[in-house]
Each structure stands twice: as structure tokens, then as C-alpha cells.
Amino acid sequence: MALKATIFKASLQVSDMDRNYYGEHSLTLARHPSETDERMMMRVLAFALNAHEHLAFGKGLSDTDEPDLWQKDLTGRIVHWIDVGQPDEKRLIRASGRADRVTVYTYGRGAELWWEANAERLTRAKNLAVWRVPTAASESVVGIAERAMQLQCTVQDGQIWFSGAASTVQLEVVALGGRD
């Protein structure tokens, strides 16, 4: 018998002074049985950093043809494709041909090695940006995860404060390459 996804609900308030974006989002997250809390929270962080009224979660781990997050315009054209983790470089090259913008938020202990192995090919994509979330920050964000979450994300001058009921994590994502 196949395991089912675990459903998480989040109320996310975003105050992004760098993009002049302020909004509140009600999110429903289906955490795949093989997905960790760290990866799920990186998807939420990626949502917060790119919040938009048309941004939505894709099937991610369940479907290789969909990203973790994407923003489509009213015609269905993919405006922004967002992946977290260490996606296959062929997947990202294919995505860069399908979307106006592609963004990756890599994290974890293997992030630097993944970037070193893929940087030469990925930097050729003109619409791809790669960001690294420091390992200490991605691990700290796990402490915020709950089945029902009240979250706040504040961004100012590149500094990010990501808060839940139990704690606040301050972090800064590091640009590895690309154009964002």
C-alpha cells in the first residue's frame, strides 16, 4: 500500500521591502512521504521570497514535469519556475526553455558540491538564478514546522526574518549564479 502525503496548513504573512510586496497567503502543503520537514520548509521559504498572487505549489517530487512552485500568467504561460534542493541540470535547462524565469534555492550539506558540478552548464541559461540557503539556516527553519502554522517572513536589504510560533530564524540567501 502506498503512503499518502501529509497535509500541512500555513497562514503566511509576507513583508518584502526589497520588492515592495506585502501580502497574506493561505497555503496548503502536501508533504510527500519521502520529503523531509527541511525540504518542505524550504518550499515555504521559496514561496515567501517570491510571493505573488499567481504563485502556486506544483507537484514537485511527484511529477518531474512540474516544479516545486510556479507562477503562470492568465494564458497559462509559465512566468516563473522555482525548484528547491539539488535538481537535475537537464531538468533546469529544459525548464529555462519553458519559463520566462527559473530560480533554484539549493540547501543542505551537498549544495556547494552540486553547484560546482553543474555551474558551467547552468550559467549558460540566461534566465536562471541559483541561490544557496546556508545549512545552519535551513536546519533551523525545521523548528518552525507544524501541521498548522502561523508564519511571517520579512525581507529588508537582503536580510530575511522567517518566524513561526516557536522561533525566528534570521538568514540571508547567497547568490551562486545566474540573473535574478
The CATH number assigned to the domain holding 132 equals 3.10.640.10
Q: Distance between CA atoms of 99 and 81, rounded to whole angstroms?
A: 6
In a domain, 10, yes or no: no
Each residue's pLDDT tens digit, 66-118: 899 999 999 999 999 999 999 999 999 999 999 999 999 999 989 999 999 99
- Helix ranges, the chain (H): 37-49, 89-98, 111-122, 135-141
Q: State which residues form the domain around 42.
A: 34-143+173-178
In a domain, 105, yes or no: yes
Position 32 confidence tier, pLDDT thresholds 50, 70, 90: confident
Mean pLDDT of 122-127: 91
In a domain, 93, yes or no: yes
In a domain, 15, yes or no: no
In a domain, 19, yes or no: no
Tell me which amino acid residue 127 is.
N
Number of domains in the chain: 1
Position 5 confidence tier, pLDDT thresholds 50, 70, 90: confident
In a domain, 45, yes or no: yes
Position 140 confidence tier, pLDDT thresholds 50, 70, 90: very high
